[in-house]
């Protein structure tokens, strides 16, 4: 039986690198697409155990020709390439439109013209904005509270329009706050962990924000379930843990798990504008659980322990500049 060939964009990043390794381990033929650079740097896949089994293409998601050529002869595309840092979207919103919206458009147009059998587009829970009570399901209204969220809403709606207009087989995965080894210091968990392990002083923004954290390996398995399930064509699928925790309590949990006494320093530059702050996100993942056998295998405590262990070995902690605020 011929192996299915999947192009994964954003392959050298946090989620992308884990996803590439996951699908290679399951026997798929993977093409890893990431941004061209002079050093031919493959990011987190540079030293992957699966490197020899992966075909690498360096290009630019913002360039149609680059995207089209990379997608030729593929059965499916999983699209993750995006600008993700919310603070930087306040500074350079145009960059987010070009990468997140035009980049997605290039994927959709190429898929339409090449008759790709399946396209999975990666969304974000940020598109929902704050919900002060209850869980967020796929029918909830979308509310852009940052230029980043606006760019992702635009990409999601553009993708669904290609399903409705051209019958392009689109699926949208909407992950909640994913965490784990290799994650950028722009995210809150590596921000706290790296500061905790280096100097026990946690410089942070809003302590009261509430999030639903999902371990990256569980997200990878969700992608595979969604990939295999035809019921999700033309649909949005939430993926989260259905567990909420405030940043304040997250720091307490990390203090307990590391056995370190942590001091907290609130920095104004880390706090979003009031109307832009997403105060609470909690996932309703009943749709994916109802339609396939996906489940959470790694809870928050276990995931944090894995992340801490990873940071402590092979000088991984040195990849992070914990003394600097990463926008």
Q: 26-73 pLDDT, tens per residue?
A: 999 999 999 999 888 999 999 999 999 999 999 999 999 999 999 999
Helix (H, G, I), strand (E, B) or coil at 121: strand
CATH number of the domain residue 122 falls in: 3.40.50.720
Q: Strand 210-211 and strand 245-246: pairing?
A: antiparallel
Q: Which residue has the tokens 């002060």?
A: 132
Question: Does residue 293 lie within any of the structural domains?
Answer: no
- Whether 1 has a pLDDT exceeding 70, the answer reads no
> Exposed/middle/buried for 261, CB within 10 Å: 0-12, 13-18, 19+?
exposed
- Whether 115 has a pLDDT exceeding 90, the answer reads yes
CATH number of the domain residue 252 falls in: 3.90.25.10
What's the domain count of the chain? 2
pLDDT at position 322 is 83
> Is residue 199 domain-shared with residue 272, that is, in the same domain?
yes
Q: 254-296 pLDDT, tens per residue?
A: 999 999 999 999 999 999 999 999 999 999 999 999 999 999 9
Do residues 319 and 193 make contact, with C-beta atoms less than 8 angstroms apart? no
Using pLDDT thresholds of 50, 70 and 90, give the confidence band for residue 324: confident
- Per-residue tokens: 141: 């209204």
> Is residue 21 domain-shared with residue 117, that is, in the same domain?
yes
pLDDT at position 325 is 85
pLDDT at position 327 is 76
Question: Does residue 324 lie within any of the structural domains?
Answer: no
Mean pLDDT (the chain) is 96
Q: How many CA atoms lie within 13 A of 250 on its CB side?
A: 26
> Is residue 89 domain-shared with residue 139, that is, in the same domain?
yes
pLDDT at position 326 is 76
Question: Does residue 32 lie within any of the structural domains?
Answer: yes
Full domain range(s) for residue 149: 5-178+214-239
pLDDT at position 283 is 98
pLDDT at position 140 is 98
> Is residue 272 domain-shared with residue 232, that is, in the same domain?
no
Do residues 170 and 78 make contact, with C-beta atoms less than 8 angstroms apart? no
> Is residue 32 domain-shared with residue 173, that is, in the same domain?
yes
Residues paired with residue 30 on neighbouring β-strands, in sequence order: 6, 54
Using pLDDT thresholds of 50, 70 and 90, give the confidence band for residue 84: very high
Helix (H, G, I), strand (E, B) or coil at 93: helix
> Is residue 312 domain-shared with residue 235, that is, in the same domain?
no
Q: 180-234 pLDDT, tens per residue?
A: 999 998 899 999 999 999 999 999 999 999 999 999 999 999 999 999 999 999 9
> Is residue 202 domain-shared with residue 102, that is, in the same domain?
no
Among residues 239, 255, 288, which one ends one of the domains?
A: 239
Contacts of 180 (CB under 8 A, 6+ apart): 14, 18, 215, 216, 217, 303, 306, 307
> Is residue 150 domain-shared with residue 230, that is, in the same domain?
yes
Using pLDDT thresholds of 50, 70 and 90, give the confidence band for residue 323: confident
DSSP state of 134: S
Do residues 185 and 326 make contact, with C-beta atoms less than 8 angstroms apart? yes
> Is residue 207 domain-shared with residue 163, that is, in the same domain?
no
Q: Which residue has the tokens 């033309």?
A: 234
Do residues 42 and 67 make contact, with C-beta atoms less than 8 angstroms apart? no
Q: Which of 136, 269, 309 is nearest to 210 (CA)?
A: 136
- Whether 95 has a pLDDT exceeding 70, the answer reads yes
* Separation CA 181–CA 53 (nearest Å): 22
């Amino acid at each position: 039986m011929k192996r299915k060939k999947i192009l994964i964009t954003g392959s050298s990043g946090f989620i992308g690198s884990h996803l590439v390794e996951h699908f290679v381990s399951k026997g798929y033929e993977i093409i890893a697409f990431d941004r061209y650079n002079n050093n031919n740097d493959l990011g987190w896949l540079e030293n992957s155990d699966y490197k020899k089994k992966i075909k690498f293409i360096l290009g630019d998601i913002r360039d149609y020709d680059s995207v089209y050529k990379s997608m030729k002869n593929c059965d499916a595309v999983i699209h993750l390439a995006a600008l993700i840092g919310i603070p930087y979207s306040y500074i350079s919103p145009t960059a987010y439109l070009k990468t997140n919206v035009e980049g997605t458009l290039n994927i959709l147009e190429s898929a339409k013209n090449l008759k790709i059998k399946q396209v999975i587009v990666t969304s974000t829970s940020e598109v929902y904005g704050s919900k002060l009570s209850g869980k967020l399901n796929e029918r909830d209204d979308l509310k852009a509270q940052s230029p980043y969220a606006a760019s992702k809403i635009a990409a999601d709606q553009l993708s669904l329009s290609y399903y409705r207009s051209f019958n392009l087989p689109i699926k949208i995965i909407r992950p909640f706050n994913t965490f784990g080894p290799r994650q950028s210091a722009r995210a809150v968990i590596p921000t706290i962990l790296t500061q905790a392990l280096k100097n026990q002083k946690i410089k942070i923004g809003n302590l009261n924000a509430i999030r639903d954290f999902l371990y990256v390996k569980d997200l990878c398995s969700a992608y595979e379930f969604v990939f295999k399930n035809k019921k999700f064509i033309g649909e949005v699928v939430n993926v989260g843990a259905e567990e909420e925790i405030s940043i304040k309590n997250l720091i307490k949990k990390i203090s307990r798990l590391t056995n370190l006494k942590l001091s907290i320093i609130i920095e104004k530059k880390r706090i979003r504008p009031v109307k832009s702050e997403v105060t609470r996100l909690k996932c309703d993942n009943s749709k994916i659980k109802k339609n396939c056998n996906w489940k959470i295998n790694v809870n928050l405590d276990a995931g944090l322990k894995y992340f801490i262990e990873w940071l402590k070995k092979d000088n991984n902690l040195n990849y992070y500049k914990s003394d600097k605020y990463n926008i």
